[in-house]
C-alpha cells in the first residue's frame, strides 16, 4: 500500500494524460487522483477522477483533504497560442491557479509539488543558441510572462516557506497518445496526422523555424525523475532547462519523407510565427543532466519512427 497519494491538476492535457498513466503504473490506480475541467472520458474512466476548476481553491482543498494528498502535479494552463487569444483569462488561469496550489501545498503539508514552466519563459533578447540556464528572460507572450512569473513564485515558496516545489522548462512536446493543447509547437504533431492521412501539410510556421523539442516519453521520464530525486540534488528552484533535440519544419518534413516519400509540405506562417520567433532555437540543459541525471532516450529520428509506427495503430483502435 503506497503512502504516496498523488493529485494531478490538468490531467486531461497533452502531458497530463500520459503522466496519469505513468503515475498509476508507479503508485497504483487507487493512489492517483486525476482532475481536469472536462468530464471524465477515455483513460480517466479507469481510475479516480474528479472534474475540477483550478480557479476554485476550495474544491482543490477539499480533494487534498479527502484523499490525504501527499504529492501534487499542477499542469493546468492555457498554452501560448490559446492564451494570446484571451490574455486576461490566460493570466488568471495560469497565475491564480498556480498561487492557489502553492498556498494549499504550503498550508497542508504537501511533501512535493511539480509545476511545469516552458522555454516560452525566454524572450526575443534571450541568447537563441544553446540558451543558458541563467540569462536574460524577456518573454512577450501571456503564456511566457506567466511562466516566468510562476518560476519566481516557485522559488519564493521554496525559499520562504520550505515548500519542495520542482519545475522543468518544457520545450515543444511531441506525442500521439493525447491531443496537443493549443501551443505554437503543435505543428510538429499535426504534421504526422496530415502526412499519414492526406500526404501533405500546410505548416503555420516558416520552413527555417528551429525550435527545441522533446518526445513525450522523455518528458514524462524527466518529470518523474525530478520529482523522485533527493531534495539535495535539486539545486535550482525556479525551473530547469530541458530539451532533447532541435529541428525546423523543413528538417522534420525531410525526416518524414524518408518514410512517406510522396509527402509534401507548404508554409503559411500565421500569428504563431511571431511567438516562435521570440523563443530559443536550442537549449543548454547541462544543469539538469548534472544535478539529477537527466538524459533523453529519443532523438529526432527515433521520435519520427515511433510516431509514424504508433499513430496508425492508435487511430485503428479509436
Ligand atoms: C506551446 N507546447 O507551444 C507549448 C510549449 C515551448 C512550447 O510550451 O505553447
pLDDT digits (tens, 9 = 90+) for 39-48: 999 999 999 9
Half-sphere exposure of 281 (CA within 13 A, CB side): 10
Q: Quick one: what percent of the chain has pLDDT higher than 90?
A: 96
With b meaning 16 or more CB within 10 Å and e meaning fewer, what string describes 223-254? Answer: bbebbebeeeebebbbbbbbbbbbbbbbebbe
> Does residue 234 lie within any of the structural domains?
no
Q: Give the 3-state secondary structure of residue 298.
A: coil
CA of 73 to the centre of ligand 1 (A): 18
* Domain identity same for 146 and 158: yes
Ligand 1 atom 3: the closest Cα is on which residue?
Answer: 183
The overall average pLDDT reported for the chain is 96
> Does residue 300 lie within any of the structural domains?
yes
What pLDDT was estimated at residue 55?
98
Mean pLDDT of the 60-76 span: 98
Ligand 1 atom 8: the closest Cα is on which residue?
Answer: 118
The domain that holds 133 is classified in CATH as: 3.40.50.720
* Domain identity same for 111 and 183: no
How many residues does this entry show for the chain?
318
What pLDDT was estimated at residue 308?
97
In ligand 1, the atom with minimum distance to the C-alpha of 120 is 6
For 210-278, the DSSP string reads: -EEEEEHHHHHHHHHHHHHS-GGG---SS-EE--SEEE-HHHHHHHHHTTSTT-EEEE---HHHHHHHT
* Number of independent structural domains in the chain: 2
State the pTM of this model: 0.96
Residue 137 scores a pLDDT above 60: yes
In ligand 1, the atom with minimum distance to the C-alpha of 80 is 9
* Domain identity same for 31 and 85: yes
**More confident of the two residues 160 and 177:** 160
CA of 213 to the centre of ligand 1 (A): 9
Residue 318 scores a pLDDT above 90: no
For residue range 216-271, list pLDDT tens digits in order. Answer: 999 999 999 999 999 999 999 999 999 999 999 999 999 999 999 999 999 999 99
Distance CA 217, CA 119 (A): 18
CA of 177 to the centre of ligand 1 (A): 17
CA of 80 to the centre of ligand 1 (A): 6
* Domain identity same for 103 and 192: no
User: Are 150 and 115 a contacting pair, CB within 8 Å?
Assistant: yes
Q: What are phi and psi of 51, to 5 degrees?
A: -75, 140
Pocket of ligand 1 (CB under 6 A): 79-80, 118-120, 143, 170-173, 183-185
Single residue among 144, 171, 198 that ends a domain in this structure: 171
Residue 1 scores a pLDDT above 60: no
Residue 14 scores a pLDDT above 60: yes
In ligand 1, the atom with minimum distance to the C-alpha of 81 is 9
CA of 184 to the centre of ligand 1 (A): 6
As annotated, the active-site residues are 143
For 179, the domain range is 173-213+244-317
Q: Quick one: what percent of the chain has pLDDT higher than 70?
A: 99
For 136-148, the DSSP string reads: -----SHHHHHHH
User: Are 154 and 167 a contacting pair, CB within 8 Å?
Assistant: yes
Supply 75's cell numbers. Answer: 499542469
> Does residue 239 lie within any of the structural domains?
no
* Domain identity same for 159 and 301: no
Half-sphere exposure of 207 (CA within 13 A, CB side): 9
* Domain identity same for 160 and 280: no
What pLDDT was estimated at residue 2?
64
202: pLDDT confidence band, cut at 50, 70 and 90? very high
Distance CA 43, CA 37 (A): 15
Mean pLDDT of the 74-82 span: 96
* Domain identity same for 149 and 266: no
> Does residue 226 lie within any of the structural domains?
no
Find where cell 525556479 sits. 238
* Domain identity same for 184 and 252: yes
Kindly list the distances between the CA atom of residue 263 and the CA atoms of 192, 195, 202, 249, 254, in Å, as whole numbers in the listed order: 10, 6, 11, 13, 9
In ligand 1, the atom with minimum distance to the C-alpha of 279 is 6
* Domain identity same for 102 and 164: yes
* Domain identity same for 106 and 206: no
Single residue among 120, 144, 171 that ends a domain in this structure: 171
Ligand 1 atom 7: the closest Cα is on which residue?
Answer: 172
Identify which of 84, 131, 172, 270 to mutate to test ligand 1's pocket (most ligand atoms within 8 A of the CB).
172
* Domain identity same for 143 and 283: no
Amino acid at each position: 500500500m503506497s503512502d504516496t497519494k498523488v493529485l494531478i491538476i490538468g490531467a486531461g492535457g497533452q502531458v497530463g494524460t500520459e503522466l496519469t498513466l505513468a503515475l498509476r503504473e508507479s503508485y497504483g490506480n487507487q493512489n492517483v487522483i486525476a482532475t481536469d475541467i472536462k468530464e471524465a472520458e477515455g483513460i480517466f474512466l479507469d481510475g479516480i477522477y474528479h472534474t475540477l476548476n483550478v480557479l476554485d481553491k476550495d474544491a482543490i482543498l477539499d480533494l487534498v483533504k479527502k484523499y490525504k494528498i501527499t504529492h501534487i502535479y499542477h499542469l493546468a494552463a492555457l498554452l501560448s497560442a490559446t492564451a494570446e487569444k484571451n490574455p486576461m483569462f490566460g493570466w488568471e488561469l495560469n497565475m491564480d491557479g498556480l498561487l492557489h496550489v502553492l498556498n494549499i501545498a504550503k498550508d497542508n503539508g504537501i511533501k512535493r509539488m511539480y509545476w511545469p514552466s516552458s522555454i516560452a519563459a525566454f524572450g526575443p533578447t534571450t541568447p537563441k543558441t544553446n540558451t543558458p540556464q541563467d540569462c536574460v528572460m524577456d518573454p512577450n507572450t501571456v503564456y511566457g510572462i506567466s511562466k516566468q512569473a510562476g518560476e519566481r513564485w516557485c522559488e519564493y515558496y521554496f525559499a520562504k516557506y520550505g515548500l519542495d516545489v520542482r519545475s522543468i522548462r518544457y520545450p515543444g512536446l511531441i506525442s500521439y497518445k493525447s491531443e496537443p493543447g493549443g501551443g505554437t509547437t503543435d505543428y510538429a504533431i499535426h504534421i504526422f496526422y496530415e502526412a499519414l492521412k492526406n500526404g501533405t501539410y500546410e505548416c503555420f510556421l516558416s520552413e527555417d523555424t528551429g525550435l527545441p523539442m522533446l518526445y513525450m516519453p522523455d518528458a514524462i521520464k524527466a518529470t518523474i525523475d525530478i520529482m523522485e530525486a533527493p531534495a539535495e540534488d535539486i539545486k535550482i528552484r525556479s525551473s530547469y532547462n530541458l530539451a532533447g533535440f532541435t529541428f525546423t519544419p523543413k528538417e522534420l518534413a525531410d525526416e518524414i519523407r524518408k518514410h512517406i516519400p510522396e509527402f509534401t509540405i507548404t508554409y503559411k506562417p500565421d500569428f504563431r510565427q511571431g511567438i516562435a520567433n521570440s523563443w530559443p532555437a536550442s537549449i543548454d540543459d547541462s544543469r539538469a543532466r548534472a544535478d539529477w541525471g537527466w538524459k533523453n532516450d529519443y532523438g529526432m529520428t527515433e521520435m519520427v519512427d515511433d510516431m509514424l509506427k504508433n499513430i496508425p495503430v492508435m487511430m485503428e483502435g479509436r
